[in-house]
Amino acid sequence: MLQVEVAQYINSDVRVQSLMQVAKPLAGFVQRLKGKQGRFRGNLSGKRVEYTGRTVISPDPNLKITEVAIPIQMALVLTYPERVSHHNIEKLRQCVSNGRNKYPGAGKITYSDGSSRVPFHNVRRKLADALKYGDIVHRHLEDGDIVLFNRQPSLHRMSIMCHRARVMPWRTLRFNESVCNPYNADFDGDEMNLHVPQTEEARTEAVLLMGVQNNLCTPKNGEILVASTQDFLTSSFLITRKDTFYDRASFSLMCSYMVDGMDFVDLPTPAILKPIELWTGKQLFSVLVRPHANVRVYVSLTVKEKNYIKSKEEGEREPEAMCPNDGFVYFRNSELLSGQLGKATLGNGNKDGLFSVLLRDYKAHAAAACMNRLAKLSARWIGNHGFSIGIDDVQPSKYLNDRRQETIFKGYQGCDKKIQLYNEGNLPPETGCDAAQTLEAGITRILNNIRDETGKVCMKELHWRNSPLIMSQCGSKGSPINISQMIACVGQQSVGGRRAPNGFIDRSLPHFPRKAKTPAAKGFVANSFYSGLTATEFFFHTMGGREGLVDTAVKTADTGYMSRRLMKALEDLSIHYDNTVRNASGCVVQFRYGDDGMDPASMEGKSGAPLNFDRLFLKAKATCPAGGNEYLSPFEVSERVESRLLEDDMTPEGGCSVAFKNSFKSFLDEYVKSLTKTREAFESVENLAAKENSAIREKIVKNISGVTPKQLEVFLNTCISRYHLKQIEAGTAIGAIGAQSIGEPGTQMTLKTFHFAGVASMNITLGVPRIKEIINGNKNISTPIITAALKHDNNVNTARMVRGRIEKTNLGQVAKSIKLVMTSRLASLVVTLDMERIRDVQLCIDANIVKESIIQTPKLKLKQEHIKVLDVGKLEILSPDTDRSKIHFQLHSLKNLLPTVIVKGIKTVERAIIKKEENKKTKTSKYSLLVEGTGLKEVMGTEGIDGRKTTSNHVLEVHQTLGIEAARKCIIEEIKYTMESHGMSIDIRHMMLLADLMTFRGDVLGITRFGIQKMGKSILMLASFEKTSDHLFSASVNGRDDRIEGVTECIIMGIPMPIGTGMLKVKQRDTLPSKLDYRPNAILS
């Protein structure tokens, strides 16, 4: 009994015999330590803190993006300890005399001897007069104070940023809507938290590291995060329409909107002078970017908006600024020359947008000031102009209704034809599909087409003033699909990626006949939301909606746990002063971060390239006008480039990566080629004309694509100097950033599986489950697929032959007959092969191969002597049993087992599918194989397959077959592919870091409790992760010590961690140096 009590005192979950069971044991020591609410996670790794506030949030476009408005009620409770000095003594005296209930007041006073007093009603004046230098007054929050602002869930570091306080009336926390994005906040009742740092060091660090203006970009991929949303985009889109003009009064008023009438504005020359001076909306944006001549901001950029019309034919010139929809935005030296501004220019997620360019070229302050101006202009303009939505915005015209009926009728007819063919058994199957799958794929295609068609008609028919249309065009909310669902047709409802399943026997609902495959019976909604859904349509619609809700709930839990594991595994990785990435114990994970030591947050180019050369070249040409200077010939350009690339700062020793040098060189080579091409094109035209025009011709060529020495020099120097500024700083907690960059997009992914690369029947797991599989390093994954390249990839017959070698072929598939032959002396099985069929499918199978296969099948227990080959297509099999009474049964069981013997192919392969890729330019087809199942080694060794280009998506199999480096590459490629197929872009450097961490010990370690344990983490870290008690017990038994180096351990012990600003320790001399006497020596001593 005593033993039970003691055991339960330590761990109240121990199993006890039912006789000794105490009523309900108290929580033991182990229970106090473990779990989310236990000591480790609830009280040591994270604590409840003072000086915080929480309330509902609301928008206020008149605040700067760096500000947050704090209600007076909060400011009265939150205090900051300010030390009295001769600068602030008067202000603090006033605060103390106001007391604790009047703003701006003070909560208490702490004296230098450690005692403190609260300024109560009767002693306030006395305490205020007695203030001395060095006392600390806990004063109420005031304007300009530094506060931390946070919204849960905190998925990435931009979920908590530093703002400046603005104490205002009313009861909500307010901030500029541009800052919604990083917090992922909306104003439908969200609440946010506020923290007040209590020391000068904390405030300094908050401003410099966490300030909004220092976090405009996300380190996930370098895209801008703090940017205009919703209303701001709509109003900018309407203001910059081609037909929008303003007279002097309204233009001046709008200019004063954006600077509160408090700043100088230089009005540009009006676009129209007579009969009345008129300015365009585009000129207003030129003013917004550069209000007056003293603002030296010269922005040059080109952006293609959503409504830009690309050239249809190959080789045809792009319309660019001549786009009929005005979708080509062109800023040159801060003047908006063409284009209607929308999400691509002003919104988040575009590296070539206006704010991104301002941030890269003119630093954070310019971008922030521009955002502030735009917020004020938009809010005030759209308030006066009005922008609302009514039922008539979604009312279809008669023409639209007729077209819709016609499209739906045509689609239904197409579906009926397919169903009829299917019922008759005449439907031609698609690659790798049976008849039912082919029917489903065909019908789904037709029905999706109906929705798209009606949507197109609907978008054409709407008036340009239509509110939903405006919103969808400028990218502020909604899409053409939403509009067509409201007006024309809701479309097919899918459940689990298919049409609505059968809920009753052979039918989806009892309203339909059995085995019905018609669109209506399988969840096609022909009505629009305007016309209203029928009862069955409504039910199908709710099925689709319910799936979405369940999906979201499941996904949240999954991604949350995944993010936590990633964070725990990667938290202690940081960059050291020798450019290596090491963990807390100094173990090298990467010799150079991301192979080039660049900071992902400041990457400007597509797919993680450091610079966007095209834009920088445009900027160099715009900011250095040619004037009367000579242009360079293509040869001179090449010469100057070559000499510049040989200098120190372009060598690997000078900190320049080979990849950057190559991309830079290839860009310049391309430019030289285009210059030569332009020249040749003009020469061929001019040959017909007289030779004296050659000077004019040369001038035209150079105006089109020439470059002066100064422009080239500026371009080269800008690129190179900017590249060197993008090196990542030592001390950066790159592990934590990487974990957040991979974990945060998980919340936006869907959970479903997708169809694979153009083959309808091949499902591949994507989304959160796939990321989970890769990160866990699972031994068995749900859809292993080997992509095999063929040696001869242009012939479908060779592809079929190779497929035959890989796919499993049973004896039952190639045998004409398996007969039991009984004579008076002998009983045997005779197998006859269907040689014609074998020839047709081009398999190399004969009786000898079948004999080998039968011998190698252990289940049959047949030896060499039991099988006779009669001829190429015939075998005789004798019973291995000599007992005459059993021979008959033995042969019968053999006859049943023989058809399952695999005579050709790889056992672990489920099936192989030929994938056809058509090249439209050359009109040729390329074939490759997709092999479902494992067996990479066998597939690579199959004749006709190019093993060097054959890859698998199973990380552990790649590791076993090709080694650890290949496994690392596989992890990177698979995470990248999964993210890209969901439209997420993540800098490859984060994935490289994760892959390196999983493979740097020479084995693939999953980010699970077992993998993290093998990564050599400390005891406290493992205990704060999972299985707390086990780690603590085993560490105690083995006498392990913890050196308190990692992040978790430092947090638990409450000391600074050796990452970021905690990386450096400052040495201070405690003994004072001897006093030096600078007087001349005395003559008489």
Condensed to tens digits (0 to 9), the pLDDT of residues 482-526 reads 999 999 889 899 888 788 889 899 999 999 999 888 999 998 999
Orientation of helix 694-705 relative to helix 658-686, angle to 10°? 150
Separation CA 198–CA 195 (nearest Å): 9
For the CA atoms of 21, 23, 26, 31, the dihedral, rounded to the nearest 10 degrees, stands at: 50
**Spatial CA neighbour of 1058 closest among 1050, 1070, 1066, 1069:** 1050
Contact between 808 and 909 (Cβ < 8 Å): yes
CATH architecture classification, 52-78+142-215 = Beta Barrel (2.40)
524-525/588-590 β-pairing: unpaired
Number of H helices, E strands in the chain: 37, 34
**How much is the pLDDT for 692?**
58
**How much is the pLDDT for 299?**
95
**Spatial CA neighbour of 160 closest among 90, 68, 95:** 68
What are 597-651's pLDDT values in tens digits?
999 999 998 888 999 999 999 999 999 988 777 888 888 999 999 998 988 888 8
Mean pLDDT computed over 776-797: 90
**How much is the pLDDT for 174?**
96
Q: Domain spanning 83-140: which CATH class is it, in words?
A: alpha beta
In which residue are the tokens 């690579």 written? 940
Q: Which residues contact 379 (CB under 8 A, 6 or more apart)?
A: 61, 62, 231, 232
Contact between 778 and 765 (Cβ < 8 Å): no
Long-range contacts of range 945-951, CB-CB < 8 Å, 24 or more positions apart? 945/788, 945/789, 945/790, 945/791, 945/802, 945/806, 946/788, 946/789, 946/790, 946/791, 949/789, 950/786, 950/787, 950/788, 950/789, 951/786, 951/787
524-525/574-575 β-pairing: unpaired
pLDDT band at 696 (very low <50, low <70, confident <90, very high): confident
Burial of residue 424, with CB atoms counted within 10 A of its CB: 0-12 exposed, 13-18 middle, 19 or more buried: exposed
Q: What backbone torsions phi and psi does residue 311 show, to the nearest 5 degrees?
A: -70, 140
Is the confidence at residue 691, as pLDDT, over 70?
no
**How much is the pLDDT for 20?**
64
Q: Would you kindly state where each structural domain of the chain is located, as residue ranges?
A: 2-33, 52-78+142-215, 83-140, 230-385, 391-550, 566-589+730-776+986-1085, 611-725, 809-904
Contact between 239 and 374 (Cβ < 8 Å): no
Residue 541 tokens, joined: 């619609």
Mean pLDDT computed over 718-731: 93
- DSSP-based three-state secondary structure for 964: helix
Contact between 1024 and 45 (Cβ < 8 Å): yes
Residue 13 tokens, joined: 């979950």
**How much is the pLDDT for 1076?**
75
**How much is the pLDDT for 21?**
66
- DSSP-based three-state secondary structure for 183: helix
Q: In percent, how much of the chain has pLDDT > 70? A: 97
Buried-exposed string 871-882: b where 16+ CB fall within 10 A, e elsewhere:
eebbbbbbbeee
Q: Which fold has domain 809-904?
A: Gyrase A; domain 2 (3.30.1360)
**How much is the pLDDT for 23?**
67
pLDDT band at 267 (very low <50, low <70, confident <90, very high): very high
pLDDT band at 755 (very low <50, low <70, confident <90, very high): low
Q: What type of residue sits at position 133?
A: Y
Number of other CB atoms surrounding residue 21 within 10 Å: 10
Report residue 784 CA to chain centroid gap: 24
DSSP secondary structure string for all residues of 910-956: EEEEEEEEEETTTTEEEEEEEEEES-HHHHHHSTTEEEEEEEES-HH
Task: Among 511-525, 697-711, 777-791, name the one with the lowest average pLDDT.
Answer: 697-711
Mean pLDDT computed over 250-273: 92
CATH architecture classification, 566-589+730-776+986-1085 = Orthogonal Bundle (1.10)
Is the confidence at residue 757, as pLDDT, over 70?
no
Residue 993 tokens, joined: 């870091």
Is the confidence at residue 235, as pLDDT, over 80?
yes
Buried-exposed string 243-267: b where 16+ CB fall within 10 A, e elsewhere:
eebbeeeebeebbbbbbeeeeebee
Number of other CB atoms surrounding residue 202 within 10 Å: 14
Contact between 99 and 124 (Cβ < 8 Å): yes
Q: Which residues contact 102 (CB under 8 A, 6 or more apart)?
A: none
Report residue 441 CA to chain centroid gap: 30
- DSSP-based three-state secondary structure for 772: helix
Angle at 1054 between CA 1049 and CA 1055, to 5 degrees: 80
Residue 313 tokens, joined: 């034919």
**How much is the pLDDT for 648?**
86
Separation CA 399–CA 345 (nearest Å): 35
Residue 236 tokens, joined: 């900018």
What are 873-907's pLDDT values in tens digits?
888 888 777 777 778 888 888 888 888 888 888 88
Is the confidence at residue 746, as pLDDT, over 60?
yes
Mean pLDDT computed over 347-366: 93
**How much is the pLDDT for 533?**
94
Orientation of helix 281-289 relative to helix 354-385, angle to 10°? 130
Q: Which fold has domain 391-550?
A: Topoisomerase I; Chain A, domain 4 (1.10.132)
Separation CA 609–CA 726 (nearest Å): 11
Separation CA 974–CA 497 (nearest Å): 22
More confident: 300 or 1072: 300
Strands of the 328-332 sheet, one edge to the other: 301-304, 328-332, 335-338
Task: Among 201-210, 288-297, 433-442, 463-472, name the one with the lowest average pLDDT.
Answer: 433-442
Average pLDDT, the chain: 89
Residue 728 tokens, joined: 């990542």
Is the confidence at residue 765, as pLDDT, over 90?
no
Task: Among 59-68, 155-164, 328-337, 801-810, name the one with the lowest average pLDDT.
Answer: 801-810
Residue 525 tokens, joined: 């909604």
Number of other CB atoms surrounding residue 444 within 10 Å: 20
**Residues 52, 53, 58, 63, CA torsion sign:** negative
pLDDT band at 1078 (very low <50, low <70, confident <90, very high): confident
Contact between 519 and 443 (Cβ < 8 Å): yes
Contact between 918 and 925 (Cβ < 8 Å): yes
More confident: 909 or 54: 54
Separation CA 128–CA 135 (nearest Å): 11
SS3 of the chain: helix, strand, coil, percent, to 5 = 45, 15, 40
**Residues 284, 289, 295, 299, CA torsion sign:** negative
**How much is the pLDDT for 875?**
86
pLDDT band at 833 (very low <50, low <70, confident <90, very high): confident
Tell whether pTM > 0.75: yes
Please provide the size of the chain in residues: 1085
Angle at 1066 between CA 1063 and CA 1069, to 5 degrees: 160
**How much is the pLDDT for 1051?**
94
Query: What Cα–Cα distance (Å) separates residue 229 from each residue in 188, 234, 254, 363, 1031?
Result: 16, 9, 20, 21, 49
**How much is the pLDDT for 752?**
64
Is the confidence at residue 675, as pLDDT, over 80?
yes
Contact between 291 and 263 (Cβ < 8 Å): yes
Mean pLDDT computed over 951-960: 93
Is the confidence at residue 589, as pLDDT, over 90?
yes
Give CATH superfamily name and number for 230-385: RNA polymerase Rpb1, domain 3 (1.10.274.100)
Separation CA 485–CA 537 (nearest Å): 13
Range list of β-strands (E), 535-614? 574-575, 581-582, 588-590
Buried-exposed string 893-928: b where 16+ CB fall within 10 A, e elsewhere:
ebeeebeebebbbbeebebbbbbeeeeeeeeeeebb
Number of other CB atoms surrounding residue 33 within 10 Å: 19
pLDDT band at 751 (very low <50, low <70, confident <90, very high): low
pLDDT band at 1068 (very low <50, low <70, confident <90, very high): confident
More confident: 23 or 769: 769
Q: How many alpha carbons lie under 13 Å from residue 915 in its C-beta half-sphere?
A: 21
